[in-house]
């Protein structure tokens, strides 16, 4: 713990901590990450612990805050280089949780609130349609290895199973698996 307190490197992130605490939307997300990992620390030290140990969280913050200070901080605290996160106009809803963001590309038009995305997920445009990005609804779970491409909408309360390829709209309250967007159940 003394390491965190004495490290000048972590003091550079102090203003970012205040930006998080002032913004209820981002503060709730911060506490969600802490609860999910059972962080042993409180206050400023919990932020340092999370910022140090979770590069996925750093990438989400860097996408949310696009000011000059955040760009400078991203030089000191590197982005998770295998997680690409780009959402048009920073239109990300509250509580985006990226689990093990290894080898993931998230390039969407929008992402709703309370979404979870696992590793090796690809969300983006088709090769011949550079502006055709997916829109992800609220309460969506996108499991490992899923691919979502094109100008499509994924509805609210949707679960996309591991390894599923989604190329057409997904209605609300469904679970989708496999290559043909097979609906398992409506919930």
Helices 14-22, 68-76: axis angle to 10 degrees equals 130
Domain end (from 76, 95, 122) = 76
Full residue range of the structural domain in which residue 20 is found: 12-76
Q: Mark whether 67 and 20 lie in a shared domain.
A: yes
- The pTM of the full predicted model, rounded to 2 decimals, is 0.85
Compute the mean pLDDT over every residue in the chain, rounded to the nearest whole number.
Answer: 86
Dist. CA 53–CA 180, nearest whole Å? 38
| Total residue count of the chain as it appears in this document | 187
Judge contact between 146 and 170, C-beta under 8 A.
no
| pLDDT reported for residue 25 | 81
Mean of pLDDT values over 139-155: 96
Most confident of 13-27, 71-85, 114-128, 134-148: 134-148
User: For residue 90, what are its two tokens?
Assistant: 């920073």
Spatial CB neighbours of 7, under 8 Å, sequence gap ≥ 6 = none
Work out the average pLDDT over 102-111: 94
Looking at the structure, do residues 89 and 144 belong to the same domain, yes or no? yes
pLDDT reported for residue 46:
84
Q: 3-50 pLDDT, tens per residue?
A: 555 566 677 777 888 888 888 888 888 888 888 877 777 777 788 888
Residues 158 and 138 both lie in one domain: yes
Q: Are residues 61 and 93 in the same domain?
A: no
Based on the domain organization, do 46 and 108 belong to the same domain? no
Q: Is residue 4 part of a domain?
A: no
Cβ-contact 152, 108 below 8 angstroms? no
- Calculate mean pLDDT across residues 45-58: 84
Does residue 108 surpass a pLDDT of 60?
yes
Domain count of the fold of the chain: 2
Confidence (pLDDT) at 113 = 95
pLDDT at 184: 72
CATH number at residue 133: 2.160.10.10
Residue 1 falls inside a structural domain = no
């Amino acid at each position: 713990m003394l390491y965190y307190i004495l490290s000048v490197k972590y003091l550079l992130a102090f203003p970012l901590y205040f930006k998080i605490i002032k913004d209820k939307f981002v503060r709730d997300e911060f506490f969600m990450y802490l609860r999910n990992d059972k962080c042993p620390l409180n206050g400023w030290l919990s932020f340092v612990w999370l910022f140090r140990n979770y590069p996925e969280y750093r990438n989400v913050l860097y996408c949310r805050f696009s000011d000059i200070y955040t760009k400078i901080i991203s030089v000191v605290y590197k982005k998770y280089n295998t997680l690409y996160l780009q959402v048009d106009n920073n239109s990300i809803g509250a509580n985006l949780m990226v689990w093990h963001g290894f080898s993931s590309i998230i390039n969407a038009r929008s992402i709703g609130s309370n979404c979870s995305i696992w590793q090796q997920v690809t969300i983006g445009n088709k090769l011949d349609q550079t502006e055709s990005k997916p829109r992800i609804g609220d309460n969506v779970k996108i499991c490992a290895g899923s691919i979502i491409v094109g100008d499509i909408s994924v509805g609210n309360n949707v679960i996309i199973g591991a390894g599923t390829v989604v190329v057409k709209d997904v209605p609300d309250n469904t679970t989708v698996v496999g290559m043909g967007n097979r609906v398992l159940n409506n919930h």
